[in-house]
């Protein structure tokens, strides 16, 4: 069976992630800080952990970083699903009860 282009990309990404994890573990075992290095299509800049392409876009980095946070995306998704509305309400009620008893 021939692999599709998508499968090749997935394999390449997984290989890169495995290599990065192995390097990170090696650094941790040796007590050294783990630093990412420049790749073929990336230039790492200290303090910038999301992609941007120009100084014009630099001001949008903090809001883009916030958007990428999983919690933000999951909450927004769950709140838009009718099935989860009741579950979210019950969770918030239970959380309020637990919080009030903890005081």
What pLDDT digit, counting tens, does each position of 20-29 carry?
889 889 999 9
**DSSP letter at 3?**
P
Whether residues 61 and 96 fall in one domain: yes
Cα–Cα dist 17/14, whole Å: 5
Of 56, 52, 82, nearest to 67 by C-alpha is 52
> How far apart, in whole angstroms, are the C-alpha atoms of residue 12 and residue 18?
10
Together in a domain, 1 and 51: no
Range of the domain at 37: 1-43
Spatial distance between the Cα atoms of 76 and 81, rounded to a whole number of angstroms: 9
Q: What mean pLDDT, rounded, does the chain reach?
A: 75
Collapsing DSSP states into helix, strand and coil, what is residue 69? coil
Q: CA 92, CA 84: separation in Å to the nearest integer? A: 12
Nearest in space to 65 (alpha carbons), one of 47, 50, 75: 50
Residues 6 and 35 placed together within one structural domain of the fold: yes
Instruction: Quickly tell me which residue has 């579950």 as its tokens.
Output: 87
Do residue 37 and residue 79 come from a single domain?
Answer: no
When pLDDT is averaged across residues 26-36 and rounded to a whole number, the result is 88
Write down the pLDDT at residue 29: 94
In this prediction the pTM is 0.36
- Same domain (yes/no): 103, 86: yes
Same domain (yes/no): 55, 22: no
36 and 58: one domain?
Answer: no
Take residue 46 and report the two structure tokens written for it. Answer: 């200290």
Same domain, 37 and 7: yes
Residues 51 and 94 in one domain: yes
- The mean pLDDT value for 79-103 works out to 75
Structural domains of the chain, count: 2
Q: What is the pLDDT of residue 78?
A: 65
């Amino acid at each position: 069976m021939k692999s599709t282009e998508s499968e090749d990309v997935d394999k390449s990404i997984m290989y890169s992630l495995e290599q990065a994890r192995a390097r990170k573990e090696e650094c941790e075992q040796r007590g050294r800080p783990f630093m990412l290095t420049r790749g073929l299509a990336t230039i790492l800049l200290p303090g910038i952990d999301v992609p941007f392409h120009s100084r014009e876009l630099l001001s949008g980095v903090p809001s883009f970083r916030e958007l990428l946070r999983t919690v933000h995306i999951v909450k927004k998704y769950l709140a838009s699903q009718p099935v989860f509305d009741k579950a979210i309400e019950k969770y918030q009620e239970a959380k309020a009860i637990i919080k009030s008893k903890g005081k």
